[in-house]
Amino acid sequence: MSADLRESLLQFGEQNRLFGIITLPASVDPTRPAIVISNTGIEHRVGPNRLHVQIARALAAAGYCVLRFDLGGLGDSDAPRGQAASSLADCRLALDALDARRLGSRYVVIGLCSGSHDGHQLCRVDERVVGLFNIDGYAYQNFKFRRLYWQSRFTHPLRTLQSIAGRIHPRFRFAEPQGMGAAIIEWPSQKEVARDYQQFMARQLNLGFLFTGDVQHSYLYAEQHYDIFPVLRDWAPVWFLPHIDHTLSRRTAREEMIRHLRKWLLSLSD
């Protein structure tokens, strides 16, 4: 970590049940929005392969105040007593905590997988959010996707063979890492999301999307998000990085993603 950065610990919410870490640049520029990152799936605030730590430190080095925190019931945060955990309520408490410490009044939310869902839902209800950067967020299929999907099934003989063998006997199935689907979230319909994007644009909310090559069940070509949501074409950048996996397990993948993110963020202040 650069000597110019500081990290401070934040306990907030009722009975201080929520925990996060604020990464601060040497001097905070009040004109810039603060950044908020919540959990990806069930992993605690450091993120998969320490991704969130790297994002926070890289963005703080670029002059942003960044909070990464645990939702209730994950990492070092507790669910509210006697109530069901609500990631939306916890995200709003995180914004309140930064507001109260005068570390932000406008926010950009960054989310990967379930974090992108949480970020999207927060945008719907909280006008303090001025930007949303989603990694492997909502994606929907169209005709071109289905054509490419089935084409790939028939032109990848090894995978087809393994798939057939796996159906015959479980020992031929490659282990699928568990946990990614552990946080079961009901994603909204394409129609609902289209309506949300219209509202976000009316609010001048900045959007950015990045899709990795691990969501082949829902995303297969660079223009797919624009084809599904044409309204975004002149509004939000979409990156499709097929050589990157969902948890950004390669160092080079994390660095590439952070480069896109930083560039997008800096473009907001132009």
Q: How far is the CB of 8 from other proteins (least distance, A)?
A: 8
Q: How far is the CB of 254 from other proteins (least distance, A)?
A: 9
Task: Return the residue of 100, 154, 176, 186 that touches other proteins, per CB under 8 A.
Answer: 176
Q: How far is the CB of 205 from other proteins (least distance, A)?
A: 30
Task: Return the residue of 83, 216, 267, 269 that touches other proteins, per CB under 8 A.
Answer: 216
Token digits for 30?
A: 């009040």
Q: How far is Cα 208 from Cα 133, in angstroms, rounded to an integer?
A: 5
Q: How far is the CB of 155 from other proteins (least distance, A)?
A: 8
In the complex with other proteins, the residue whose CB is nearer, 176 or 186, is: 176
Ranges within 228-247 binding other proteins (CB under 8 A): 242-245, 247
Q: How far is Cα 227 from Cα 98, in angstroms, rounded to an integer?
A: 37
Task: Return the residue of 199, 252, 267, 269 that touches other proteins, per CB under 8 A.
Answer: 252
CA distance to 105, 157, 216, 220, per residue, from 162 (Å): 52, 9, 17, 21
Contact flag: residue 156 with other proteins (CB under 8 A)? yes
- List all residues 6 or more positions away from 166 whose beta carbon is below 8 Å from its beta carbon: 172, 173, 174
Q: How far is Cα 241 from Cα 210, in angstroms, rounded to an integer?
A: 7
In the complex with other proteins, the residue whose CB is nearer, 32 or 246, is: 246
Q: How far is Cα 49 from Cα 228, in angstroms, rounded to an integer?
A: 31
Q: How far is Cα 88 from Cα 92, in angstroms, rounded to an integer?
A: 6
Q: Which residues of 211-223 are buried (b: 16+ CB within 10 A; e: fewer)?
A: bbebbeeebbeee
Task: Return the residue of 85, 213, 226, 262 that touches other proteins, per CB under 8 A.
Answer: 213
Binding site for other proteins (CB under 8 A): 1, 3, 7, 9, 11, 19, 21, 41-46, 48-50, 53, 74-76, 152, 155-156, 158-159, 162, 174-180, 182, 213-214, 216, 220, 242-245, 247, 249-252
